[in-house]
Amino acid sequence: MTSKIHGNLKRDLEEELKTLSGYYPVVTVLGPRQSGKTTLTRLAFPEKPYVNLEAPDIRAAALFDPRSFFDQYPEGAILDEIQHCPELLSYIQQIIDSRSETGLFILTGSHQPSLIAAMTQSLAGRTGLLTLLPLSMMELKRSDLLENTMEEIAYKGFYPRIFKAGIPATKFYRDYLETYVQRDVRQIAAIKDLRQFHLFLKLCAGRTGQLINMNTLSTEVGVSSHTVKHWLSILEASFIIRILPPYFENTGKRLTKSPKLYFIDTGLCCFLLDIHTSQQLAQHPLRGSIFETMIVADQLKQAINTGKDYTFYFYRDSSGHEVDLLYQTSEGWVGCEIKASKTFNPIFFKGLKYLSSNLSGNLCESKVIYLGDTMRFKIGYAENFKEIGDLKAKPDVD
């Protein structure tokens, strides 16, 4: 299994990465730790020299004499973990501005404020930006690595190293969390009490797929609501969570109403909830929320991997009409309802029916993703969660 994922697993983002390298002199791949950025870039550009700026000696040499460092790579290079050396971006700017070439440098890095600020200043208009999240279900399925049940998939999570090295999920996420909190969080923000931040993470995991109540969170953690907002922004900037705003025709309401919180990776969410086996997840009261989290994250990955710049929303009104996921494509709006049930019930389409009649613009696709067999209906379709890779509308049948 190790050789299969290392040698044959093709990441869906690779095509978009190669396309952008033909448009820009620099392409930057951002993403969380261990999402596979290094493997992706090296497989996509095997001819390019590879430089790991996380290595202290290489980093020191590059910063001590940048001009000599870049003289070693006249045809460009892959510069891994560029967030450690944002000062190099100004030198990259000078190099690419003196040459009319595309695809010279491929950069990878974590999304940190200092890196984004440096890119905005030095590489604005000169770099294509991509995000690589952990594996999608279709990527796992294509390599015959998708587990048999929802609980096994969600508990194990989607980070490539778990599959590549056969690391037990609990061990991987324990080490991952330690590295994230001790290194990334300390670099992004001066958090004095890391135990308090760890408590905040666990409380967020317990709210995945739910509305965020800033005041309740601040009371439970023992910090101000301003601090809660700041910490949520840190989690989102480092690809731990995704915040979904509510959809309203009035744009102002989207900014003021409570959003929903989703973890990007269900394996990490399960670990924070002290779920250590798939059997434990099957009996857990948050099983439905975790399934919803997994599907929302997967739809997000599919959009990002194919270069689609969708804004994802959820819909909920005062009359109780709800739709879990809503986004707009060039063909119109897509609505998606997510149910952790093996038995289909026509009531699953209730919110979608209402939305199709009341949404300004065309609801071109309505779908329910649940745990049963694929079924199709006149007003939309329902599908098995292992077959969610096709975002295109399917033909309706009576």
Residue 113 has a pLDDT of 67
Packing angle of the helix pair 194-205, 225-237 (nearest 10 deg): 80
Quick check: 357 pLDDT over 80? yes
Total count of residues recorded for the chain: 398
pLDDT tens for 42-63 read: 999 999 999 999 999 999 999 9
Residue 346 has a pLDDT of 84
Q: pLDDT band for position 2 (50/70/90)? A: very low
Q: In terms of pLDDT, which residue wins out, 330 or 72?
A: 72
Quick check: 3 pLDDT over 50? no
Residue 112 has a pLDDT of 67
Q: In terms of pLDDT, which residue wins out, 61 or 9?
A: 61
Residue 195 has a pLDDT of 87
| 248-252 average pLDDT score | 69
| 374-382 average pLDDT score | 41
Q: Which fold has domain 137-305?
A: Arc Repressor Mutant, subunit A (1.10.10)
pLDDT tens for 213-245 read: 999 999 999 999 999 999 999 899 889 999 999
| 243-253 average pLDDT score | 79
Contact 295, 369 (CB under 8 A): yes
| 25-38 average pLDDT score | 94
Report the distance separating Cα 31 and Cα 23, nearest Å.
21
Quick check: 4 pLDDT over 50? no
Q: SS3 letters for the chain?
A: CHHHHHHHCCCCHHHHHHHHHCCCCEEEEECCCCCCHHHHHHHHCCCCCEEECCCHHHHHHHHHCHHHHHHCCCCCEEEECHHHCCCHHHHHHHHHHCCCCCCCEEEEECCCHHHHHHHHHHCCCCEEEEECCCCCHHHHHHCCCCCCCHHHHHHHCCCHHHHHHCCCHHHHHHHHHHHHHHHHHHHHCCCCCHHHHHHHHHHHHCCCCEECCHHHHHHHHCCCHHHHHHHHHHHHHCCCEEEECECCCCHHHHHHCCCEEEECCHHHHHHHCCCCCHHHHHCCCCHHHHHHHHHHHHHHHHHHHCCCCCCCEEEECCCCCEEEEEEECCCCEEEEEECCCCCCCHHHHHHHHHHHHHCCCCEEEEEEEECCCCEEECCEEEEEHHHCCCCCCCCCCC
Residue 8 has a pLDDT of 56
Q: SS3 letters for 158-197?
A: CCHHHHHHCCCHHHHHHHHHHHHHHHHHHHHCCCCCHHHH
Residue 58 has a pLDDT of 96
**Percent of the chain whose predicted confidence (pLDDT) is above 90:** 64
Which one of 101-105, 175-179, 326-330 scores highest in mean pLDDT? 101-105
Q: pLDDT band for position 375 (50/70/90)? A: very low
Q: Is-same-fold flag (2-131; 137-305)?
A: no
Torsion of CA 372, 378, 379, 380, to 10 degrees: 40
Quick check: 397 pLDDT over 60? no
Residue 40 has a pLDDT of 96
Residue 216 has a pLDDT of 95
Q: pLDDT band for position 126 (50/70/90)? A: very high
| 341-359 average pLDDT score | 86
Q: pLDDT band for position 192 (50/70/90)? A: confident
| pTM for this entry | 0.89
Report the distance separating Cα 11 and Cα 140, nearest Å.
10
Q: In terms of pLDDT, which residue wins out, 111 or 144?
A: 144
The tokens for 338 are 């997510």
Quick check: 299 pLDDT over 50? yes
| 111-121 average pLDDT score | 76
Q: Comparing 125-129, 167-171, 203-207, 340-344, which segment has the lowest mean pLDDT?
A: 340-344
Domain ranges of the chain: 2-131, 137-305, 313-387
Residue 248 has a pLDDT of 83
| 93-104 average pLDDT score | 94
Report the distance separating Cα 23 and Cα 279, nearest Å.
48
Q: In terms of pLDDT, which residue wins out, 392 or 37?
A: 37
Q: pLDDT band for position 396 (50/70/90)? A: very low
- CATH number for the domain whose boundaries are 2-131: 3.40.50.300
Residue 252 has a pLDDT of 59
Quick check: 7 pLDDT over 60? no
Residue 57 has a pLDDT of 96
Quick check: 336 pLDDT over 60? yes
Quick check: 190 pLDDT over 80? no
Residue 1 has a pLDDT of 32
Quick check: 100 pLDDT over 60? yes
Report the distance separating Cα 122 and Cα 26, nearest Å.
11
